[in-house]
Structure 1
Amino acid sequence: MAETATDIGTGTTVRAEDLHREYGRGAAAVRALRGVSVAFAPGTFTAVMGPSGSGKTTLLHCLAGMDRPTRGSVWWGGTEVSRLPERRLAALRRSRVGFIFQAFNLMPAMTVAQNVELPGRLAGERPDRVRVLDALARVGLAGRERHRPGQLSGGQQQRVAIARALVSRPPMLFADEPTGALDRATGHEILALLRTGVDENGGTCVMVTHDPVAAGYADRVLLLADGGVVDELDRPTAAQVGACLSRLSGREL
C-alpha cells in the first residue's frame, strides 16, 4: 500500500522497536545495536551520545532509513520503513528526511546552490531559488551560492550541508556531529537553527554528538553503550551531560 501524507506527515513520530544491527557473521560478527527500543515525538530535539563504538551512528542511520536493521523495526508515523522496498524507501527518504553528514557529502563539481538543490531534484521537484537562497542566508552563506565546495573552508562546507538538509523543511532531521567542523560561535548558530526548526515547524530532530554543550540544546539526551540505551536525561545542562558521560566512560574502562 502506498504511503500518504497522513501516514508520514508533519507530525511524525520516529520509533525503533527491538532494533538489532550486526555486521559480519559468525564469531567475527560485530553487534552494533542490541535490542534498542526508543521513540522520538514531533516537536522534539534529541541528542544521542556515548563512547566510540557504542552504536550512535548506526542507530542514526537505521532511524533515517539509510541502513537496514538485522532484525527489529523502524517506523515513521504509521509506516514501517524498515520493510519497504529500496526504491520506495529512497523516494520517501528524499521527500521526508533531512540528513546532515559528518563528512559533508557535497558534490565537488556542483555549485553551492546546486548542492543545496540536489535532494529536491532527485525527488523530481523543480528547485525553489528563493528558498535555496534563504537557506544559505540562514547558515551565513549569503552571496556564496556560485562558489564550489573546494573554494570553501571545512566549516563553510558543513554549513552548505546543513542548508541542504534544511531547505525543504523536512518533518524529520537527522544530524551526525553537525558542529564537529565548526568554530564555537558558528556551532552555536547552527544549533540554534536546529532548535528553532523544531520549535517553529514541529519537526523531529535526532542528533549524534560528542559535545555536552551541543547536547544542552536538546530536550532529551540518550546515552548509548555496547549497542544499547543505558541512560536518558531530560532537558539537561551541559554540566549534567558531561558528568553523566564521565561516569559512563569510567564504567567502560
Structure 2
Amino acid sequence: MTEMTTDIGTGTAARVEDLHRQYGRGTAAVRALRGVSVAFVPGTFTAVMGPSGSGKTTLLHCLAGMDRPTRGSVWWGDAEVSRLPERRLAQLRRSRVGFVFQAFNLMPAMTVAQNVELPGRLAGKRPDRGQVLDALARVGLAGRERHRPGQLSGGQQQRVAIARALVSRPQVLFADEPTGALDRATGHEVLALLRSGVDRDGGTCVMVTHDPVAAGYADRVLLLADGVVVDEFDRPTTARVVERLSRLGGGAR
C-alpha cells in the first residue's frame, strides 16, 4: 500500500501539512496520524473514509481545531491555527468553522432557536434573530423555532444541528458521521442539505463517514489507513467506493 501526499497550494478553505497526532508515550503510544498533508478547496464536498483506527476522526478533529496535532500545521484559509492559544482558537473556530455531530448535541431545555443561537452567545455576541430564522428556513424548519428538541424527530434534530453550524456562515463545515443515528431515508435528506450548502452557497464540507452511499454525495473521497492517506478519487459512486474500500480490507469502519 503506497502512502500518498496531496499537493498543498494557496486558495484553500482548509489544509493540513505534515500532520502527526500521537496519543500516549513509549510502548503504549498510538500514532493516529503519520504525516498527513491534504487540502480542501472552496466549494467542494469531501468524504473521509477508512477502517477502524485509520485516523479519519482524528484528522477531522484536528482540522476543526478540536484536537491539537503533535506535529505539523493546520490552516483555515490563510490563518495557521494549530499554534494559537486556546482562547483565540475558540474565538476563531466559532466564526470560521461549523461542526455537525452524529449525536446532534442539542440542549434539551432550550428551544430550537436558542440552540441555533448558542454558539454566538458563547462567543459573547448578540444573536441576530433574522440570521437564526434564515438558517432554520434553509434546513426546512421554518416555524419550528419555539419547539424543543424532544418534540422533533431525529432527522429534524440533525437539521437543527446543521442550522446551528451554518448560522455563523462558516468557511468550512465539518461533519462526523452526520447520518449515523438516522434511518436511510432521513439520512438522504440530511446529505442533500450538506450537498446543497456546497452547490448553492459555495460552502466547503468535510465529512467522515463509514457509509459508501453517503460518500456518493461527495465530490472527492479520501481513504485513510494506519494514519496516512492511501488513496483518493473524484466523482465517487457507491460501487466505486465499495471497490476501493475492499482493497483496504475490513470495510469502511
- The aligned length equals 242
The 5 A counterparts of 1:49-68 are 49-68=49-68
CA distance in 1, matches of 2:133, 2:182: 21
**Which residue pairs with 2:6 in the alignment?**
none
CA 1:91–1:251 in structure 2 vs 1: closer, same or farther (change >3 Å)? closer
For 1:83, give the aligned amino acid.
Answer: R
**Which residue pairs with 1:227 in the alignment?**
227
The offset of 1:138, in angstroms, is 3.1
**Which residue pairs with 1:23 in the alignment?**
23
Q: Any unmatched runs of 5+ in structure 2?
A: 1-10
Determine if contact 1:12/1:171 at 8 Å carries over to the other structure.
no
The offset of 1:131, in angstroms, is 2.6
Give the SS at the match of 2:127. coil
Write the deviation string for residues 130-168 of structure 1: whole angstroms up to 9, x where unpaired.
332232233333333222223333333222211111222
**Which residue pairs with 2:3 in the alignment?**
none
CA distance in 2, matches of 1:156, 1:198: 20
The TM-score, its normalising length taken from structure 1, stands at 0.89
RMSD of the TM alignment (CA)? 1.8
**Which residue pairs with 2:218 in the alignment?**
218
For 1:47, give the aligned amino acid.
Answer: A
CA distance in 2, matches of 1:135, 1:189: 16
For 1:101, give the aligned amino acid.
Answer: F
The 5 A counterparts of 1:1-253 are 12-249=12-249
For 1:157, give the aligned amino acid.
Answer: Q
The TM-score, its normalising length taken from structure 2, stands at 0.89
For 1:175, give the aligned amino acid.
Answer: A
CA distance in 2, matches of 1:201, 1:155: 22
**Which residue pairs with 1:4 in the alignment?**
none
Give the SS at the match of 1:83. coil
Write the deviation string for residues 55-106 of structure 1: whole angstroms up to 9, x where unpaired.
1111000001111001111111222100111111110000111100122221
Give the SS at the match of 1:198. helix
**Which residue pairs with 1:3 in the alignment?**
none
The offset of 1:12, in angstroms, is 4.8
CA distance in 1, matches of 2:34, 2:247: 21
For 1:31, give the aligned amino acid.
Answer: R
Which range moved further: 174-183 or 81-90?
A: 174-183
CA distance in 2, matches of 1:180, 1:64: 19
Q: Any unmatched runs of 5+ in structure 1?
A: 1-10
